Amino acid sequence: MDVDELRLLLSREGLALLDRVEDGLGAGGDVVREVARLRSEGHDPRLVAAVLTQARLRRRAAARFGEFARAMLFTEAGLEQATRLRVAAHHAGRMRDAGIASVADLGCGIGADALAFATLGLEVTAVERDEATAAVAAYNLAAWRARVVHGDALETPVDAEALWFDPARRDGATRLSDPADWSPSLEAVFARAAERPAGVKLAPGIDRALLPAGAEHQWVTDAGETVEAVVWTGALARPGVARSALVLGDQGAAELAGEPQHPEQGPLGTWLYEPAGAVIRAELIGALAERLGAHGISEGIAYLSGDEHVATPLAQAFRVLETMPLDERRIAQRLRELGIGELEIKKRGADLDPAALRKRLKLRGEGRATLIATRVGGRHRAILAERP
């Protein structure tokens, strides 16, 4: 979205038209017919395109922002990198709990984190160098104690107790793999984060070797998806916590903190555990094994096992029914014998395509099960299991 399109959208006619289009499409309206209808009414084709794009972005944004999406504006790139509402609330809570009263969101995008900070009563300065995106952020933050500045994240002077960074890792539709090409660059961000308390949001797959010593490195899983890594510095980093894994869900939050460690190895027991992605990324599988009274089943494999069932949001649990060689014919035969018609397929350390395998198995029956293709004691095995 460019500035001219945004001006059209932010006009009284544009916002009213957006509400109409959302209501129409939400009731099952046809996009092609909607375009024809709006043009027949004499609306500017550029406005029609902007309104339809915004309605589409709002529908996509509902997964991240819930009912708030209906009152927000978005850009393609801004929505792609925007923090989920529940995760942003965690960021804001960390700021509040550390006694922070004001925060500068440097590179705020569409303002998702700034919005969360403001809703908890923090004074927010949000800086964004792209003019159209800054205007979108200003719209989204208009009802809150927040100031949006169109400027460079590192060059704009700010007076705030803490900083928040979410460096742009895309150039249009292209993902930038080199942290030196991010905006701002990762090196520059960490230099500023060393000056005052800060949080730096990164992709969960970030190379751990790039993360600064003396800070807290936290990975976050939300609704089963590992969504980010955050580097917390200064007063926002908790004393004695080098790494942590946070798992968010409808039932609340669960956290594991400690030092990276690998679990002891042992035989496959009655229960198999798949740690949350945040636990795996934080290399806290050993700490989780101790909490569960479990052990690893093969070197380099992230599954844990034990004979007792311990319910935890930090891992998915599966009751082991039987094991067999990782042989497709043997697996298909056994599934037919058991009448398994619905099969969840998971894998770690096994070279197979779950979707293709499921199709070849030609499942029939009323039964349900989970097939886990992995290594046990260094050997490839198929584990037939069920969820509790």
Tell me the per-residue pLDDT of 41-68, one tens digit each, with 9 for 90 and over: 888 888 888 888 999 899 999 988 988 8
Torsion of CA 47, 48, 53, 57, to 10 degrees: 90
Beta-bridge partners for 102? 123
Report the b/e string of 170-193 with b at 16+ CB within 10 A. Answer: eeeeeeeeebeebbbebebbbebb
Q: What is the pLDDT of residue 38?
A: 79
Cα-trace Rg, the chain: 24
Q: What is the pLDDT of residue 172?
A: 66
On the CB side of 303, CA atoms within 13 Å amount to: 29
The answer to whether 304 and 272 have CB atoms below 8 angstroms apart is yes
**Does the pTM exceed 0.85?**
yes
Q: What is the pLDDT of residue 168?
A: 84
- pLDDT higher than 70, residue 29: no
Q: What is the pLDDT of residue 203?
A: 94
H helices of 98-233, where?
112-119, 131-140, 186-193
Work out the pLDDT band at 173, boundaries 50, 70, 90. low
- pLDDT higher than 90, residue 5: no
- pLDDT higher than 80, residue 337: yes
- pLDDT higher than 80, residue 170: no
CA distance 267 to 269: 6
pLDDT tens-digit profile of 183-239? Answer: 899 999 999 999 999 999 999 999 999 999 999 999 999 999 999 999 999 999 999
Q: What is the pLDDT of residue 258?
A: 93
Mean pLDDT of the chain: 93
Q: Return the closest-CA partner of residue 64 out of 22, 125, 13, 110.
A: 110
